[in-house]
């Protein structure tokens, strides 16, 4: 039996947001919105792309660095792709960086440097799907689009005690969000829902007594807040194994190469290595190295977890004279340049295992 609760009122949530909105570098605060200040669609778009699969704390310094370097979409479109990939290094999900550059190019070329104002128009741009288009259209232009991220899923699954496990419940939750989204202040409402999930309606020990929708929450009335959202049991993550070869010249330079443009970590920089074989118990050793040298194995392998598999990398390192040439598809990155290369996290781990401190930026 569903306990008696009052229906959730968007006005109550917005009143809470007016007092407690998080201060974020890409956000136009509610007081400024009321004073007529409009959000910058470029900032909204950039933040939403960066926030895909990545938390706010991680995104903030990247967002500020991008904005300082490329303050407008025209600046970003004019940037070399390699510079964008290097600036993105460490944020993960690197297809986002390629799509970011492609989207900036498209906005400048096909839209005169102005982002479309509707979710339908935004969805036609590279790298922008249903969620991102709804978020940008709502936040930048107050389109009453149903914006549903992980925070919103958690809030609404508790408010309405949605028993269907995720991801199967996504359509149901989207429909509930569409019903609640107000025709006015849609952008503030979307951000209020995100803030509610991020600050009060958290996965563990939600602060229900501070929630503006406490009396509207079925899960709270039942005392079952932490049982929601329901989630389907995850399958075991597959295992892959490979080898990485860290060649270090006498002057400290490290051998690097570029990954293929398509596929996992496409277009990023790596140390040479073997293929990553699923289910492999043993991997290739020095016979797979990019050049002949006295290769020594690092005692502990590097473990890196991707979204769809867990990777174990055996790390081999070798010292070479500073006159040693690089193979045709590779180059030597000096100790000064290495920290600025477009190295994904797994490659930074591999290099650090063989040469501690090598990837750290010098002050």
Q: Which helix (H) or strand (E) holds 255?
A: strand 254-258
Contacts of 202 (CB under 8 A, 6+ apart): none
Q: Which of 53, 49, 26 is nearest to 102 (CA)?
A: 49
Dig out the tokens for 156 from the structure.
């609404």
d(CA 232, CA 192): 27
Could you tell me the pTM of the whole model?
A: 0.84
What is the distance between the alpha carbons of residues 36 and 34, in angstroms, rounded to a whole number? 5
Residue 313 per-residue DSSP state: E
Q: Contact at 8 Å (CB) between 213 and 13?
A: yes
Q: 247 near 332, Cβ under 8 Å?
A: no
Q: Is residue 180 a contact partner of residue 196, using CB atoms and an 8 Å limit?
A: no
Q: Which among 238, 240, 315, 314 has a CA at the least distance from the CA of 277?
A: 240
Q: For residues 100 and 168, give the distance between their C-alpha atoms in angstroms, rounded to a whole number.
A: 29
- Catalytic (active site) residue 214: no
Half-sphere exposure for 234 (CA within 13 Å, toward CB) = 6
Q: How far apart are CA 70 and CA 77, in angstroms?
A: 9
Neighbours of 176 (CB within 10 A): 20
**Which residue, among 279, 293, 304, 309, has the nearest Cα to 245 in the 3D structure?**
293
Residues 6 or more apart whose Cβ sits within 8 Å of residue 207? 199, 200, 201
How much is the pLDDT for 236?
Answer: 85
Query: In this structure, which long-range contacts are made by residues 291-294, counting pairs with CB atoms below 8 Å and at least 24 apart in sequence?
Result: 291/247, 291/255, 291/320, 291/324, 291/327, 293/247, 293/318, 293/319, 293/320, 294/318, 294/319
Q: What are phi and psi of 310, to 5 degrees?
A: -110, 130
Residue 262 is predicted with a pLDDT of 84
| CA separation for the pair 211, 196 (Å, rounded) | 8
Query: What is the structure's pLDDT at 230?
Result: 96
List the chain pLDDT tens, one digit each, 363 residues: 556 789 999 999 999 999 999 999 999 999 999 999 999 999 999 999 999 989 999 999 999 999 999 999 999 999 999 999 999 988 888 889 999 999 999 999 999 999 999 999 999 999 999 999 999 999 999 999 999 999 999 999 999 999 999 999 999 999 999 999 999 999 999 999 999 999 999 999 999 999 999 999 999 999 999 999 999 888 888 999 999 999 999 999 999 999 998 888 988 999 999 999 988 666 778 888 999 999 999 999 999 999 889 999 999 999 999 999 999 889 999 999 999 999 999 999 999 999 999 998 766
Q: What end-to-end distance do the CA atoms of the chain give, in Å?
A: 62
Residue 90 carries which DSSP code? T
Alpha-carbon Rg for the chain, nearest whole angstrom, is 24
Q: Which residue in 48, 225, 270, 341 is the catalytic one?
A: 48
> Cβ atoms within 10 A of the Cβ of 106, count?
18
Whole-Å CA distances, 16 to 122, 196, 206, 233, 304 = 30, 9, 16, 35, 40
- Scanning the chain, the segments in alpha helix (DSSP H) are 10-20, 30-34, 41-51, 56-69, 73-78, 81-88, 95-111, 119-122, 130-141, 150-159, 170-180, 186-199, 218-222, 345-354
CB 32 within 8 A of CB 39: no
From 100, 140, 103, select the one nearest 118 (Cα to Cα). Answer: 140
């Amino acid at each position: 039996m569903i306990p008696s609760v009052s229906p959730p009122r968007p006005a109550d949530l917005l009143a809470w947001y007016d007092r407690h909105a998080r201060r974020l570098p890409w956000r136009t605060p509610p007081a400024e919105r009321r004073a007529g200040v409009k959000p910058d669609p470029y900032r909204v778009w950039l933040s939403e792309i960066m926030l895909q699969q990545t938390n706010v704390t991680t995104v903030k310094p990247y967002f500020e660095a991008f904005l300082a370097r490329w303050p407008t979409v025209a600046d970003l479109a004019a940037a070399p792709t390699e510079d964008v990939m290097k600036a993105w290094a460490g944020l993960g999900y690197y297809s986002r960086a390629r799509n970011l550059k492609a989207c900036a190019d498209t906005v400048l070329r096909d839209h005169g440097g102005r982002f479309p104002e509707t979710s339908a128009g935004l969805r036609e741009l590279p790298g922008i799907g249903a969620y991102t288009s709804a978020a940008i259209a709502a936040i930048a232009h107050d389109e009453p689009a149903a914006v549903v991220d992980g925070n919103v899923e958690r809030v609404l699954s508790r408010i309405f005690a949605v028993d269907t496990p995720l991801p199967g419940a996504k359509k149901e939750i989207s429909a509930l969000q569409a019903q609640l989204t107000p025709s006015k202040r849609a952008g503030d409402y979307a951000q209020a829902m995100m803030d509610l999930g991020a600050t009060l309606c958290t996965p563990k020990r939600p602060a229900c007594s501070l929630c503006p929708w406490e009396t509207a929450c079925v899960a709270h009335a039942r005392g079952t807040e932490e049982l929601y959202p329901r989630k389907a049991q995850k399958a075991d993550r597959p295992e892959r194994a490979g080898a990485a070869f860290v060649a270090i010249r006498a002057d400290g330079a490290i051998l690097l190469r570029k990954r293929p443009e398509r596929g996992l970590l496409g277009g990023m920089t790596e140390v040479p290595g073997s293929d990553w074989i699923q289910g492999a118990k043993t991997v290739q050793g020095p016979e797979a190295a990019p050049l002949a040298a006295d290769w020594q194995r690092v005692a502990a392998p590097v473990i890196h977890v991707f979204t769809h598999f867990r990777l174990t990398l055996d790390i081999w390192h070798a010292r070479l004279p500073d006159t040693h040439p690089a193979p045709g598809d590779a180059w030597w990155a000096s100790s000064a340049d290495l920290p600025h290369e477009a190295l994904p996290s797994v490659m930074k781990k591999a290099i650090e295992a063989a040469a501690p401190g090598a990837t750290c930026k010098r002050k």
